[in-house]
């Protein structure tokens, strides 16, 4: 068998020749057909994950235990689910990297993840009590993260370096669009709890399956499959910083940036009540307006940032600049004296956040330690995106005590975390 038959790649519109070696980068530009379907599939994965978190999961919990117990019950369900997601993503990524199916390396896990996640959501929708909700949500998180791990790995698998900024920028707009779409779909079916859970999954699942079907997936033959050992399994959740310092600095940068974001999203309601002096009845509307303003800017900044990164051939300056802008936005929010000042800060934060998510994934794809284990390494990186949401609630009370209960101090700390993330990304040497 010829060596170049071992690893086949392609796109929906262009099918480049098989790679000559397992470690070679994709050389052929991907067409707009592939980019469109990949973006729709990624947006759909975000939709099936985020719709329950934004609306339906909280409503389900509230319907079972009432408003008094709902916050603690919801914290239990989402906390355990987040923990499973944090470890499930790299685990399933490693399985994807080792898959020798004739259907490819990524496609089987996209389908398995979608079906398993859909069943988990169905369990949640029909659950008669909180323990069953917890079981269903854990199933959904595990399988949807299997889907996500395989899907993210398509970027380094199929997209050449010179296009990764563009594609990463398009993927960056998926979160705000999926958030708006998810809340809209749930609103359409208000009063029908089963439909509120399943309709976003059905619509998202359609685009995920279409992409999985047309994808000319990588294929791994059994001879290239690495041996399995306890040491290798432990390495699923770890990348040695001494051997891969660029990846380690990128991991640290993302952790600090997402930690700043976690402080903001977790405590913005209390900031509005305490610092701005908003009435409790006005807070939901104010948070919606702030999120809307931020999302509009995120979309514009993500699209522009990804293209500029590709044209200039630079990644670090965009990630660093985005982190600094986001940090400055947090400082602006911290000194805001009214809601208008808060909106200005949120708009500035959208500029930083949009540019960051557009280019950071492209940068990480360029410095992956092992291209043959891309899904596993991207799963490790996902820990930097998940862990801050457990760390922020744990250390925020300490910061508030030291700051005499000032949420402005908390936002200053958030801004400092983002700027520290900017400093760490400068240590990456493998990209410009």
- pLDDT recorded at residue 18: 37
Residues 394, 303 share a domain? yes
CA gyration radius, the chain: 21
Tell me the three state secondary structure of residue 26. Answer: coil
Does some domain include residue 37?
Answer: yes
Residues 293, 201 share a domain? no
Helices and strands of the chain, counted as H and E runs: 17, 0
Does some domain include residue 431?
Answer: no
- pLDDT recorded at residue 1: 38
Does some domain include residue 432?
Answer: no
- pTM higher than 0.85: no
Domain hosting 123: range is 3-20+27-237
Q: HSE of 86 in the Cβ direction (CA atoms, 13 Å)?
A: 17
Q: Could you report the per-residue pLDDT of 22-68, keeping only the tens digit for each? A: 445 665 788 888 889 999 999 999 899 888 876 778 778 878 887 66
CATH of the domain at 104: 1.20.1250.20
| Intra-chain end-to-end CA distance of the chain, in Å | 38
Residues 163, 116 share a domain? yes
Residues 106, 215 share a domain? yes
Residues 356, 334 share a domain? yes
- pLDDT recorded at residue 223: 64
DSSP class of residue 53 equals: I
Does some domain include residue 341?
Answer: yes
The residue out of 237, 260, 279 marking a domain boundary is 237
- pLDDT recorded at residue 217: 81
- pLDDT recorded at residue 229: 59
- pLDDT recorded at residue 415: 92
Does some domain include residue 262?
Answer: yes
Residues 372, 254 share a domain? yes
Residues 184, 99 share a domain? yes
Instruction: In whole angstroms, give the CA distance from residue 335 to residue 127.
Output: 45
- pLDDT recorded at residue 416: 93
Does some domain include residue 430?
Answer: no
Residues 312, 203 share a domain? no
Does some domain include residue 116?
Answer: yes
Residues 402, 305 share a domain? yes
The residue out of 187, 219, 237 marking a domain boundary is 237
Residues 130, 199 share a domain? yes
- pLDDT recorded at residue 14: 37
Find all residues with CB under 8 Å of 34, minimum gap 6, and list them: 11, 12, 13, 14, 158
- pLDDT recorded at residue 21: 39
Residues 251, 138 share a domain? no
Which residue in 346, 353, 317 sits closest to 332, CA to CA?
346
What's the number of domains the chain is made of? 2
Residues 307, 188 share a domain? no
- pLDDT recorded at residue 23: 43
Q: Could you report the per-residue pLDDT of 131-147, keeping only the tens digit for each? A: 999 999 999 999 998 99
Those residues of the chain that have pLDDT short of 70 are 1-27, 54, 67-68, 71, 222-240, 266-267, 269, 280, 284, 370-376, 393, 430
The residue out of 207, 237, 267 marking a domain boundary is 237
């Amino acid at each position: 068998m010829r060596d170049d038959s071992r690893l086949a790649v392609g796109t929906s519109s262009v099918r480049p020749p098989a790679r000559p070696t397992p470690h070679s980068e994709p050389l052929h530009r991907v067409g707009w057909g592939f980019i469109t379907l990949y973006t729709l599939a990624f947006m759909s994965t975000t939709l099936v994950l985020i719709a329950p978190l934004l609306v339906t999961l909280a409503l389900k919990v509230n319907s079972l235990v009432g408003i008094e117990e709902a916050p603690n019950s919801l914290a239990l369900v989402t906390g355990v689910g987040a923990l499973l997601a944090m470890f499930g993503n790299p685990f399933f990524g490693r399985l994807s990297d080792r898959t020798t199916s004739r259907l490819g390396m990524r496609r089987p896990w996209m389908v398995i993840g979608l079906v398993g996640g859909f069943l988990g959501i169905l369990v949640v929708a029909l659950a008669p009590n909180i323990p069953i909700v917890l079981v269903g949500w854990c199933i959904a998180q595990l399988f949807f993260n299997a889907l996500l791990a395989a899907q993210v790995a398509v970027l380094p698998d199929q997209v050449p370096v010179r296009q990764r900024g563009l594609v990463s920028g398009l993927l960056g707009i998926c979160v705000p669009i999926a958030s708006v779409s998810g809340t809209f779909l749930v609103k359409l079916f208000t009063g029908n709890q089963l439909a509120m859970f399943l309709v976003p999954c059905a619509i998202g699942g359609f685009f995920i399956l279409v992409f999985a079907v047309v994808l000319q997936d990588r294929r791994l033959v059994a001879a290239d499959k690495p041996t399995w050992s306890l040491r290798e399994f432990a390495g699923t959740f770890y990348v040695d910083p001494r051997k891969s310092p660029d990846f380690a600095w990128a991991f640290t940068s993302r952790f600090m940036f997402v930690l700043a974001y976690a402080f903001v999203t977790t405590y913005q309601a209390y900031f509005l009540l305490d610092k701005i002096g908003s009435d409790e009845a006005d807070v939901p509307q104010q948070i919606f307006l702030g999120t809307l303003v931020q999302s509009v800017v995120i979309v514009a900044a993500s699209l522009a940032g990804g293209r500029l990164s590709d044209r200039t051939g630079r990644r670090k300056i965009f990630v660093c600049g985005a982190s600094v802008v986001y940090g400055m936005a947090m400082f602006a929010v911290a000194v805001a004296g009214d809601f208008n000042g808060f909106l200005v800060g949120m708009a500035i934060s959208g500029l930083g956040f949009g540019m960051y998510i557009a280019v950071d994934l492209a940068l990480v794809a360029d410095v992956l330690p092992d291209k043959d284990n891309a899904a596993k390494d991207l799963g490790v990186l996902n820990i930097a995106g998940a862990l801050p949401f457990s760390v922020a609630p744990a250390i925020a009370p300490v910061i508030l005590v030291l700051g005499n209960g000032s949420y402005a101090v908390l936002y200053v700390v958030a801004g400092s975390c983002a700027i520290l993330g900017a400093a760490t990304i400068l240590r990456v040497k493998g990209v410009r």
